[in-house]
Amino acid sequence: MKTTRSLAAAAMMAAGSAVMLPATDANAQLMVRGRLLNILPQERSAPLPAIGVSNEVTPELDLSWFFTPNIAVELILATQRHTVTNAGADLGSLKHLPPTLLLQYHFMPAQDFKPYVGVGVNYTRFYDVDLGGGTLTVDKTSTGGALQAGFDYRLSGPWYLNVDVKKIWIETDVKTSAGAFVTNLKINPVLVGVGVGYRF
């Protein structure tokens, strides 16, 4: 419940910030999307090579502000719990909140089918970490790049179908509760999303 309230507050703050942004084009608009994400970690770890992170499905909220018909900035908000394993054995779980900001280019803005690409950055916060029965922890934050491709398809009026794929670079160090380094864990998920959008 606390996480849900935090996400809602962050979304309202982002919306307020977007409304205050200076429009450089008369057609600048706000678009709000809701997606269902399939999170597919592409994990790697070293020196312990057998750390695994579970695939998960979660809802996502995103806000896009169009400076021009072609150029937009998108902020995405989602959070999820992942199961962590070591050589297939249950190691525990952790949650992460990776707000991601992307600069997008939208092709064919006058058409019903509107493909786009994006590039940006994510800032990830790890929380509710429960690994190794409390004997392990992770660095609390991570900053990395993000790439995106997708399309919006007009269904009716301001309503759109959205399909979106992102690659996000996320990593953290796993440590003992005393702070000793154990392994570096790169999660680097691919996010495949399907949802609907409303353009104001």
In the chain, helix, strand, coil percent, each to 5?
Answer: 10, 65, 25
Do 51 and 45 form a contact (C-beta atoms < 8 A)? yes
- Residue 26 has what pLDDT? 47
What band does 24 get if pLDDT is binned at 50, 70 and 90? very low
Question: What percentage of the chain has pLDDT greater than the value 70?
Answer: 86
Please report the pLDDT score of residue 27 as a whole number: 56
Determine which of 16-20, 76-80, 95-99, 158-162 has the lowest per-residue pLDDT on average. Answer: 16-20
- pLDDT at residue number 19: 42
The amino acid at 30: L
pLDDT at 88: 92
Give per-residue pLDDT as tens, 44-77.
999 999 999 999 999 999 999 999 999 999 999 9
Which amino acid would we find at residue 169?
W
Instruction: Give me Rg for the CA atoms of the chain.
Output: 18
pLDDT of res. 17 = 43
Q: For 8, phi and psi rounded to 5 degrees?
A: -60, -40
Task: Give the pair of three-digit tokens for residue 102.
Answer: 């992307």
Q: Please give the average per-residue pLDDT across 185-200, as a whole number.
A: 97
Rounded distance, CA 125 to CA 48, Å? 23
pTM of the predicted model over 0.85: no
The string of pLDDT tens digits covering residues 101-136 is: 999 999 999 999 999 999 999 999 999 999 999 999
- What is the structure's pLDDT at 173? 97
Q: What is the pLDDT of residue 2?
A: 44
Domains of the chain with CATH codes: 2-199 (2.40.160.20)
